[in-house]
């Protein structure tokens, strides 16, 4: 059972118990029964609204200033890209998990959709669900997820309508963008681009260039828009956070992975965006984030 289904089951049970207790208490004290049902119902409804994305912040998109580049930022569309209504801009950034299981058919569908978009540049990284993109580990776990082997070399070649970054950089009008697909492992799941906590993660994030303006990773840094709903814990990367705050200091960090962490916050000189489009209940209800940065190279 997925965490999303478990969440709905648990809250359905709690709601049923709440109704029964309120009914039994009504024979003793009607005001107490109303109080119990009122506060309990308020809590449950609030949690369900949060899971559905109805309480997510709604980005305010203003006019674009002269000599800026407008970045439209999304993540975690999981095959539902055709349902999206994207705002205009110069550059589209997708922070990974554009598919459900990273099959060749899913990748082709995503690439075809990218080809219909008017942005002059589209930048994409993989996420843990782009299973066939991890050339090193995919041969070890493909039978867990796929009925037939999906050739990693062919998978990446299908992305012809974007610039694909895999722990590499690119530039747009002098603005330096670094993209990396790596995330912390999920217990009990072998998926793409997992990096273990500790020495491996520390060494990995030290290789991000210090002059990066926009950092795009699939996973979040520890403690920033990374809180999971099913147990309330923070699951981001501690070593990524350390490098961002002490060395890289990008203007913007874009990520996803934790759907319920969707939002925006500022820490130090960096603005962080969890751009997951799908909610905790896997509906494409969250809005893209829009970021304007001054051009460093004028054409």
Q: Please tell me the predicted confidence (pLDDT) of residue 42.
A: 46
pLDDT higher than 60, residue 2: no
47 vs 159 pLDDT, higher one: 159
13 vs 141 pLDDT, higher one: 141
44 vs 168 pLDDT, higher one: 168
Between 50-54, 61-65, 93-97, 237-241, the lowest mean confidence (pLDDT) is in: 50-54
Give the model's confidence band at 187: pLDDT under 50 very low, under 70 low, under 90 confident, else very high.
confident
Between 176-180, 211-215, 269-273, 281-285, the lowest mean confidence (pLDDT) is in: 281-285
Q: Give per-residue pLDDT as tens, 248-285.
A: 999 999 999 999 999 999 999 999 999 999 998 888 99
Tell me the mean pLDDT in the region 67-95.
98
Looking at the DSSP assignment, which residues form a beta bridge with residue 91?
71, 121
Between 10-24, 122-136, 159-173, 202-216, the lowest mean confidence (pLDDT) is in: 10-24
Q: Please tell me the predicted confidence (pLDDT) of residue 78.
A: 97
CATH superfamily of 68-294: Metallo-dependent phosphatases (3.60.21.10)
* DSSP state letters, 198-225: THHHHHHHTTS-TT-SEEEESSPBTTSS
Q: Please tell me the predicted confidence (pLDDT) of residue 165.
A: 99
Tokens of 61: 């998109």
68 vs 52 pLDDT, higher one: 68
Give the model's confidence band at 75: pLDDT under 50 very low, under 70 low, under 90 confident, else very high.
very high
Q: Starting at the edge strand that comes first in sequence, how are the strands of the sheet with 168-172 ordered?
A: 168-172, 175-180, 214-217, 252-255, 270-274, 263-267
Tell me the mean pLDDT in the region 10-30.
60
DSSP state of 136: T
241 vs 31 pLDDT, higher one: 241
Q: Starting at the edge strand that comes first in sequence, how are the strands of the sheet with 163-164 ordered?
A: 163-164, 121-124, 91-94, 68-74, 289-294
pLDDT higher than 80, residue 31: no
pTM above 0.85, yes or no: no
**What is residue 193's three-state secondary structure?**
coil
Handedness of CA 67, 73, 167, 113 (dihedral sign): negative
User: Quick one: how far is CA 264 from the chain centroid?
Assistant: 12
Share of the chain above pLDDT 70, in %: 80
pLDDT higher than 90, residue 229: no
pLDDT higher than 90, residue 22: no
Q: Please tell me the predicted confidence (pLDDT) of residue 72.
A: 99
Domain boundaries, the chain: 3-52, 68-294
Q: Please tell me the predicted confidence (pLDDT) of residue 154.
A: 95
pLDDT higher than 50, residue 218: yes
Q: Please, what's the b/e burial string for 28-43 (b: 16 or more CB within 10 A of its CB; e: otherwise)?
A: eeeeebeebbeebeee
pLDDT higher than 90, residue 246: yes
Looking at the DSSP assignment, which residues form a beta bridge with residue 180?
217
User: Is residue 193 a contact partner of residue 181, using CB atoms and an 8 Å limit?
Assistant: yes
Nearest to 180 by CA among 200, 194, 198, 159: 194
Tokens of 150: 């999906």
If you average pLDDT over every residue of the chain, what do you get? 88
pLDDT higher than 70, residue 26: no
Orientation angle between helical segments 3-25 and 30-52, nearest 10 degrees: 170
């Amino acid at each position: 059972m997925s965490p999303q289904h478990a969440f709905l089951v648990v809250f359905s049970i709690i709601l049923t118990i709440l109704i029964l207790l309120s009914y039994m208490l009504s024979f003793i004290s009607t005001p107490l029964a109303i109080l119990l049902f009122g506060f309990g119902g308020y809590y449950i409804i609030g949690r369900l609204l949060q899971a559905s994305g109805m309480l997510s912040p709604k980005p305010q998109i203003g006019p674009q200033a002269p000599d800026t580049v407008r970045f439209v930022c999304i993540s975690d569309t999981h095959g539902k890209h055709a349902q999206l209504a994207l705002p205009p801009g110069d550059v589209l950034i997708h922070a990974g998990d554009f598919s459900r299981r990273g099959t060749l058919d899913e990748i082709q569908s995503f690439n075809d959709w990218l080809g219909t978009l008017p942005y002059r540049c589209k930048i994409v990284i993989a996420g843990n669900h782009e299973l066939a993109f991890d050339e090193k580990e995919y041969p070890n776990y493909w039978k867990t997820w796929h009925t037939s082997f999906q050739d990693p070399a062919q998978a990446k070649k299908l992305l012809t309508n974007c610039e694909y970054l895999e722990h590499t950089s690119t530039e747009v009008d002098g603005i330096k963008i670094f993209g990396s697909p790596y995330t912390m492992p999920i217990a009990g799941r072998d998926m793409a681009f997992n990096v273990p906590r500790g020495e491996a993660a520390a060494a990995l994030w030290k290789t991000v260039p210090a002059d990066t303006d926009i950092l795009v990773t699939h996973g979040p840094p520890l403690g920033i828009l990374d809180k999971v709903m099913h147990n309330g814990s923070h699951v981001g990367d501690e070593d990524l956070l350390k490098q961002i705050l002490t060395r890289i200091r990008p203007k913007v960090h874009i990520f996803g992975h934790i759907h319920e962490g969707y939002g925006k916050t500022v820490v130090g000189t960096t603005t962080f965006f969890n751009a997951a489009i799908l909610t905790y209940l896997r509906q494409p209800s969250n809005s893209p984030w829009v970021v304007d940065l001054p051009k460093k190279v004028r054409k």
